[in-house]
Structure formats: structure tokens, C-alpha cells
Amino acid sequence: MSEAVVSARALSKTYRVFNRPFDRLVEALFRRSRHTPFHALSNVSFEVQRGEGLGIIGENGAGKSTLLKILAGVTAPSSGSMSVARPVASILELGSAFHQEFTGRQNILLNAAMLGLSRDDVIERSPRIIEFSELGPFIDQPIKTYSTGMVMRLGFAIATQVEPDVLIIDEALSVGDGYFQQKCMTHLRKYVDGGGTLLICSHAMYYISAFCSRALWMKNGYIEALGPVEQVVPQYEAFLQAKTDRSDEKPEVIEAAAGAPAHLDQVRLLTGDTIKQDDPLKLEITWTTKNPEAAFHLAVGLNRLDEVEVASFLSHQNGAGPWSGAPTHRVILEIPNVPLVKGGFKLYVFLLAEDGLHIHDTRILDEAFTVEYDAYPFGFVSIDHRWVDGS
């Protein structure tokens, strides 16, 4: 049975927000409330098993950093309880754990001791930490002279080389040069594969998918979703895409114009609302006409949730139709292999006149389907290609 090395039970954190510094004094002296409570975390519960990577995702202000600070022991929860296996190392706000007047070497001794290492262990591991950081002669310079990238190098080197049971990282991989970022990612991969437990917060979904098997989506201090990365990350990305157009959402059904010779009865996906790359997609379209002799074409637009146009399917340009000779019609649009690799998508369906220009009726399927994935892909479409050695 797996061992839970991180356990959070109903964690909540409330801050007192004062409009003026004077209000804090009044409240302390006269015991009258002069603050507004801000609930940064509310009833957060989860467990992380040994050797598991958990990605914390969400918008700015969702409570991610507050949660990680509580788990790292930097701040205490207002209510709830938690347990985290020791030793635990964290990389939170860059430089927050360093004494600015001390040299890099002195900060190594200080931080390693704070993590619970004995003096002999600190002396033994210091050369590895210095080598990994690649700070060279700067290791004997005061931290206050370091750039942010150098601070990140030292912080990451200390946190990883002390071999903690639990490693907590809050956006630190976004700082520093590309070479050292690659070095850090390689080390994190080895750390998790070797049985280390990782909690990482990042806006880069590639990092979350690369190092984590599960994702925890925070929203307004609450857990919005918790589950496998391949399920939660697409939900979060679809939420972000849809949010950009919330103020101008179109209704799912647009009524046919009065006097139109036909109207759409039903538009539905036969293949479900969740697919993967190269899966087939089938869209069923049915309509009724008052004039069986009238002829009709169909058009389907495929958009991302943020209204980026992805593809269109036009029967009058594809050699299909027109359809006529009956009061009701049923047509299925088939896409044998969907080349989309991730994201949420919507569908626009248009019932057209025989000339393919006039629109009789329209149906919009908001959030029609989502494309899930196993390994995080770049872009949102797969293009067939090959590499040719020209040497």
C-alpha cells in the first residue's frame, strides 16, 4: 500500500486586511473590528503518496502559494491540520530563506542546518551543492550581490542536494537561463523517478505534465478539481480559453428566422464530448422543411473556446449535397482522424440554402468537446511530417 507523506485536512487560511495602518492600532487597543477578512484558503483536503508528483495550478490569487507556504511550514493555517514527512525542502519566494549579508557558502551551511542536517552531513554535501549551483568564485560573495538567476541556482542546489523526502517548488523554474532550467528539470525527473515526492506550482502546463501524475486546480481558495493530470489540466485550459469570451457568449440555440423554409431539429456528437488525437468524430445533424422539394447545404465551423477559428466543413465545397426530396433529413459529418492534440472546442452548425450562401438556421454547441492527452503537447494541432537527413 502506498504511503501518504503529505496530508492536508480541511486547511483554511484567513488574513486580516486593514484599510489603514491606524485601523490595526484601533483594533488592538479597543477590541473593535476594523479589518476585512480575506479567505485565501478554504477547506482544502488532499493527500500525496511517496514518489508522487502533484502539480498545483490556478490563476493568480487562487491560493496556490499560500497552500505551499503552509505545507513548507512558513506560515500556519487558520484552521485545519496537516502532516508532511521530514525532511522537507522548499523553493518559494527567491532569496527569502537567505541572509543577504552572508556569502553563498555561509547560506549553504545555514539552510542545510535549518533542514535538519547534522554538521557532518552539511560538510559532506556542501561540495555537491556548490558544484551543482555552478556559481564558481561567486559562492564566497554576499547574497546581496547575486542576480535573481544566481539566487535560484543556489536555492535549487540546496533544496535538491540535501535529498529531502518532500520537495516544494513555487514557480522557481521560470527564473534563470535555459541551460540551468534544463539541468533542473533533468534532476527533478530523476528525483521523482527515484521515489521523491514533489509538490510544484507553475503556470507552465508542460512542467506540470512532465513531473506530476496528478494535478490540483485551485480557484478562489477552494479546490476546483483534483485528479489525473490528463483530466484536470485540459479542464483548466478550457476554463482559461472560455473565460476570455465570457462577456460575449452566444446562446446555444439561435431560433430560425420567421418564415424560414426549414429549421434544425437536433445537432449532437455521436462520439461523445471527450476524445483524443486521431480519434474519429461524428456530428449528427437533423432538420425539417416545409417544402420537401427545397434543397439544402450544411456548413460546420470548428473554433477553440476563445473563438480562434480552427477549421470549417462546407458541403457545397466538398462535393456533398444538396439534400432535398423529403420533409426531414439526417446527415452525419464524419472526421476519421481528428488532428487536434489538446484543448476545448465549440461547433457552429449552419443550415444553408441551395446556393450555400443564405443561412436558414443556426445551432451553436458551446464547449462541444475536449481533446485529452497523455503527454503534454505543444500547439493544438498535429501536422504530418518527416525529417530528412540532408548530409
**Which region, left, alpha or beta, applies to residue 297 given φ > 0 means left and ψ of -120 to 50 means alpha?**
beta
For residue range 251-296, what is the model confidence (pLDDT) as tens digits?
Answer: 444 555 556 788 899 999 998 888 988 899 999 999 999 888 888 9
**Residue 56's closest CA among 154, 200, 193, 209?**
200
The predicted structure's pLDDT at residue 1:
47
Q: What is the mean pLDDT of residues 342-359?
A: 85
Give the pLDDT band (50/70/90) at residue 2: low
Please indicate, yes or no, whether residues 136 and 279 belong to a single structural domain of this protein: no
Listed range (115-124, 226-235, 265-274) with the worst mean pLDDT: 115-124
Q: Do 158 and 294 have their domain in common?
A: no
Q: Give the confidence band of 177 by pLDDT, cuts at 50, 70, 90.
A: low
Q: What dihedral angle (degrees, nearest 10) is formed by the CA atoms of 125, 131, 133, 135?
A: 120
Domain with 206, as residue range(s), is 50-243
Partner residues linked to 15 by β-bridges: 38
- Within this chain, do residues 209 and 149 fall inside the same structural domain, yes or no? yes
Domain CATH number, residue 136? 3.40.50.300
3-state secondary structure of 130: helix
pLDDT of residue 257: 54
271 and 367 housed in the same domain: yes
Do 211 and 279 belong together in one domain? Answer: no
5 in a domain, yes or no?
A: no
Distance (Å, whole) CA 71 – CA 68 = 5
161 pLDDT exceeds 90?
no
Q: How confident is the model at residue 367 (pLDDT cuts 50, 70, 90)?
A: confident
Is a pLDDT exceeding 80 seen at residue 97? no
pLDDT (0 to 100) of residue 223? 93
| Residue 172 three-state SS | helix
From 163-167, 171-175, 387-391, the region with the lowest mean pLDDT: 171-175
Q: Is the pLDDT of residue 349 over 90?
A: yes
Domains contained in the chain, number: 2
Which band of pLDDT confidence, cut at 50, 70 and 90, is reported for residue 140? very high
- More confident of the two residues 267 and 163: 267
Residues sharing a CB contact under 8 Å with residue 37, sequence separation 6 or more, in sequence order: 14, 15, 16, 17
- Rounded Cα gap, residues 79 and 115, in angstroms: 25
Of 270, 362, 288, 364, nearest to 326 (Cα)? Answer: 288
Other CB atoms within 10 A of residue 215 CB: 26
| 178-194: average pLDDT | 80
Distance CA 304, CA 344 (A): 6
The reply to whether 199 and 334 lie within a common domain is: no
Q: Which residue has the higher pLDDT, 126 or 206?
A: 126
Confidence of residue 218 (pLDDT cuts 50, 70, 90): very high
pLDDT digits (tens, 9 = 90+) for 18-71: 777 777 777 777 777 777 788 889 999 999 999 899 999 999 889 998 999 999
Q: Are 40 and 8 in contact (CB under 8 A)?
A: no
Cα 376 from Cα 341, distance rounded (Å) = 9
Cell 533533468 maps to which residue? 186
Strands, DSSP E only, in 21-159?
A: 35-49, 53-57, 79-84, 88-91
The pLDDT value given to residue 283: 93
**Could you say which DSSP state residue 355 is in?**
T
- Residue 19 inside a domain? The answer is no
3-state secondary structure of 86: coil
Residue 113, CB half-sphere, CA atoms under 13 Å: how many? Answer: 10
**341 and 300, same structural domain?**
yes
260, 213: one domain: no
Average pLDDT of the chain is 84
Report how far residue 154's alpha carbon sits from residue 131's, in angstroms, rounded to the nearest whole number: 10
List, as one string, the DSSP characters of 264-330.
EEEEEETT-SEEETT--EEEEEEEEES-TT--BEEEEEEEETT--EEEEEEGGGTT---B-SSSEEE
Q: Which residues, in sequence order, are bridge partners of residue 54?
A: 199, 214
Same domain, 207 and 305: no
Whether residue 296 sits in one domain with residue 331: yes
* Least confident span in 45-59, 135-149, 224-238, 374-388: 374-388
Looking at the structure, do residues 232 and 322 belong to the same domain, yes or no?
no
pLDDT tops 60 at residue 247: no
C-alpha 358/C-alpha 57 separation (Å) is: 45
- Over residues 294-335, the pLDDT tens digits come to 889 999 999 988 888 899 999 988 888 799 889 999 999 999
What three-state secondary structure class fits 31? coil
Closest CA to 146 of 189, 108, 193, 95: 95
Distances (CA, A) of 245 to 60, 232, 240, 251, 341: 19, 21, 10, 13, 22
Mean local confidence (pLDDT), 231-254: 67
